């Protein structure tokens, strides 16, 4: 490690060694190679541009969509004796002007700006005329139209930046990017494969849990009882859900804060400040809360309903445990969550192609909720993170893996029912036929006349629905994506039907000390 980098790491930041990927990223930048760093939340991405920013001549410009975080970052740098500032819309025009003049006078080593700043002629004019150390794109996934959090303003600055001749090197940083997004970022910022530093996404201190078939409000209440004084976030799918849960808990005397886009800016700021300063430990929020929240001691993130895709889920759940301490990410799933997410997609202003893409991502999320495999691996696989273990040993599925039940026969019945229904129906109708439901639609389609009608009537429709979703999640049955996805047999299904492939499910959890009644 070149002496200067190490010296800066020690003297300014007080750390002994680099974390995985940091040194490699810094080295690429110091050799003026455009670089993409994909590291998990809490992995130490800031140092990857801060150390080169201090080493190279000129000012480092950091573009971030998170106005609320800029001040914290700037304060942190200033407290280390490093000259830094931010220029964004939270400042008065007079303050913006003064900082711009200081920037022109080369008084700053680091300047944080929002993407919109590149629409300002005076800003562009200033940075064209001063030495620039580097330009960093924080939250770089926002640049990609394939990302879940695409910001057009982020992308539109790229052509403008290319016209600024004195930018020696770009660095893009993100904690959440699929292969598609990574390729997109590489193309936009001309980053070669050799200069993509990917440390993987795994967060070894996070334990993922799937909770089904429980009354959600009751679960949350008893969870909070057992985790008093711990900081946590409860994400709901809608504002209405957030309001309802907030009312229920406050009525019972549980101190919680609330944050969603329907509240005034003042209310949101107050709630956020109370949470950040640990005055209120639990925040109930929609996904409007979080981007820009840098709270290190969040011990749990509960999703009160299934979110719309795995990218959002991992990013939101990943707000737990930024300090590296063990933390829990719990998803409370109910079948209605699927309908709600489909409704939200239908209600959105997206065109049909974009909706289709959202349905595809939603299906991956549904599969996550129904897999019996390792939850951590399932998420990492989604991001094509191939070098992971098959089992994390921490998630609820790994912990409950002891008891296996052979459901090959039931699976064969389900699959042959799908076949006999002409592969023209979805999960709900198939479950009804297997149950032998008297639903009018079943009669209308004459599905009560097929031989598999009522063949699994010993089970509830809910159980049958769960099994069908399980077969999809394990790729033993195919589904089309869309508003009304139909079920189709795939090669794995044919193998199951021919008896070439057994089907197992993991059933009862291992009793824990809390389940003392078992004995
Ligand atoms: P990210 O942006 O990747 O989520 P941060 O840059 O905010 O992560 O870093 C997370 C925490 O880890 C910060 O408190 C930071 O000071 C600390 N950190 C970063 N690099 C190191 C290192 N090499 N050794 C120890 N701690 C580090």
Using one digit for the tens of pLDDT, what is the confidence trace for 423-480? 999 999 999 999 999 999 999 999 999 999 999 999 999 999 999 999 999 999 999 8
47 pocket-lining for ligand 1 (C-beta < 6 Å): yes
In this structure, the residue with its CA closest to atom 2 of ligand 1 is 45
Nearest alpha carbon to residue 372 among 295, 516, 457, 476:
476
> Cα(13) to centroid of ligand 1, in Å?
10
Q: What mean pLDDT is predicted for residues 368-389? A: 85
Phi, psi of 323 (to 5 degrees): -85, 5
Give the number of C-alpha atoms closer than 13 A to the C-alpha of residue 175, restricted to the C-beta side: 19
Using one digit for the tens of pLDDT, what is the confidence trace for 49-79? 999 999 999 999 999 987 877 888 899 999 9
Confidence of residue 388 (pLDDT cuts 50, 70, 90): low
Surface-to-core class of residue 448, CB atoms within 10 Å of its CB (0-12 exposed, 13-18 middle, 19+ buried):
middle
* Cβ-contact 232, 249 below 8 angstroms: no
- pLDDT the model gives residue 509: 43
* Cβ-contact 178, 206 below 8 angstroms: no
Question: Which tokens is 47 given?
Answer: 């140092």
Using one digit for the tens of pLDDT, what is the confidence trace for 91-134? 999 999 999 999 999 999 999 999 989 889 899 999 999 999 99
**Chain CA centroid to CA 214, Å:** 24
Atom of ligand 1 nearest to the CA of 48: 6
Question: Which tokens is 518 given?
Answer: 């078992």
* Cβ-contact 396, 208 below 8 angstroms: yes
Within 10 Å of residue 44's Cβ, how many Cβ atoms? 19
Nearest alpha carbon to residue 281 among 268, 297, 260:
297
Give rounded-to-5 percent helix, strand, coil for the chain.
45, 15, 40
> What is the value of pTM for the model shown?
0.78
Confidence of residue 516 (pLDDT cuts 50, 70, 90): very low
39 pocket-lining for ligand 1 (C-beta < 6 Å): yes
Of the two residues 151 and 423, the one the predictor is more confident about is 423
pLDDT score of 145 more than 60? yes
> Cα(100) to centroid of ligand 1, in Å?
29
* Cβ-contact 191, 34 below 8 angstroms: yes
Distance CA 344, CA 238 (A): 10
42 pocket-lining for ligand 1 (C-beta < 6 Å): yes
- pLDDT the model gives residue 389: 65
318 pocket-lining for ligand 1 (C-beta < 6 Å): no
Least confident of 79-93, 152-166, 239-253, 425-439: 152-166
This model of the complex carries an ipTM of 0.98
In this structure, the residue with its CA closest to atom 12 of ligand 1 is 44
Confidence of residue 510 (pLDDT cuts 50, 70, 90): very low
Q: How many residues make up the chain in this entry?
A: 519
Pocket test for ligand 1, best of 23, 41, 42, 321 (most atoms within 8 A of CB): 42
> Cα(135) to centroid of ligand 1, in Å?
20
77 pocket-lining for ligand 1 (C-beta < 6 Å): no
> Cα(434) to centroid of ligand 1, in Å?
53
Using one digit for the tens of pLDDT, what is the confidence trace for 1-23? 456 888 889 888 888 889 889 99
pLDDT score of 385 more than 70? no
């Amino acid at each position: 490690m070149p002496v200067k980098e190490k010296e800066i790491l020690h003297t300014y930041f007080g750390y002994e060694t680099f974390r995985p990927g940091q040194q490699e990223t810094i080295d690429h930048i110091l050799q003026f190679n455009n670089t993409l760093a994909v590291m998990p939340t809490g992995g130490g991405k800031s140092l990857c541009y801060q150390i080169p920013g201090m080493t190279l001549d000129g000012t480092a410009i950091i573009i971030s969509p998170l106005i609320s975080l800029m001040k914290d970052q700037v304060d942190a740098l200033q407290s280390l004796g490093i000259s830094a500032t931010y220029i964004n819309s939270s400042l008065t025009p007079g303050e913006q002007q003064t900082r711009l003049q200081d920037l022109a006078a080369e008084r700053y080593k680091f300047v944080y700006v929002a993407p919109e700043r590149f629409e300002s002629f005076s800003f562009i004019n200033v940075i064209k005329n001063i030495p620039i150390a580097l330009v960093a794109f924080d939250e770089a996934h926002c640049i990609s139209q394939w990302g879940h959090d695409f910001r057009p303003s982020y992308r539109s600055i790229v052509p403008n930046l290319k016209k600024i001749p004195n930018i020696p090197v770009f660095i893009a940083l993100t904690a959440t990017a699929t292969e598609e997004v990574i390729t997109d970022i590489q193309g936009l910022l001309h980053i070669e494969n050799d200069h993509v530093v990917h440390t993987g996404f795994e967060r070894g201190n996070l334990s993922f849990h799937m909770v089904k078939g429980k009354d959600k409000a009751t679960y949350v209440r008893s969870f909070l009882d057992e985790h008093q004084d711990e900081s946590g976030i409860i994400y709901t799918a809608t504002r209405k859900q957030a309001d309802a849960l907030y009312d229920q808990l406050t009525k019972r005397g549980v101190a919680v804060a609330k944050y969603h886009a329907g509240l005034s800016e003042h209310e949101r700021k107050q709630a956020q400040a109370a949470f950040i300063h640990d005055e209120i430990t639990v925040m109930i929020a929609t996904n409007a809360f979080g981007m820009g929240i840098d709270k290190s001691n969040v011990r749990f993130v509960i999703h009160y309903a299934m979110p719309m895709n795995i990218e959002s889920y991992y990013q939101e759940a990943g707000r737990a445990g930024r300090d590296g301490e063990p933390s829990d990410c719990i998803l409370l799933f109910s079948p209605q969550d699927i309908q709600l997410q489909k409704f939200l997609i239908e209600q959105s202003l997206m065109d049909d192609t974009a909706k289709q893409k959202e349905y595809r991502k939603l299906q991956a999320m549904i599969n996550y909720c129904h897999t019996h495999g390792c939850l951590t691996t399932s998420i990492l696989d989604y991001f094509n993170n191939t070098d992971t273990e098959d089992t994390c040993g921490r998630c609820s599925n790994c912990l409950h893996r002891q008891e296996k039940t052979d459901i090959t026969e039931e699976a064969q019945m389900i699959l042959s029912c799908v076949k006999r229904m002409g592969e023209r129906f979805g999960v709900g109708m198939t479950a009804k036929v297997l149950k032998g439901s008297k639903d009018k639609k079943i009669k209308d389609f004459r599905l009560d006349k097929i031989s598999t009608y009522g063949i699994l009537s010993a089970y509830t429709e809910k159980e049958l629905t769960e099994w069908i979703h399980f077969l999809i999640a394990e790729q033993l049955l195919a589904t089309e994506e869309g508003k009304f996805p139909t079920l189709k047999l795939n090669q794995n299904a044919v193998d199951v039907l021919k008896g070439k492939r057994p089907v197992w499910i993991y059933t009862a959890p291992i009793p824990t000390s809390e389940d003392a009644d078992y004995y």
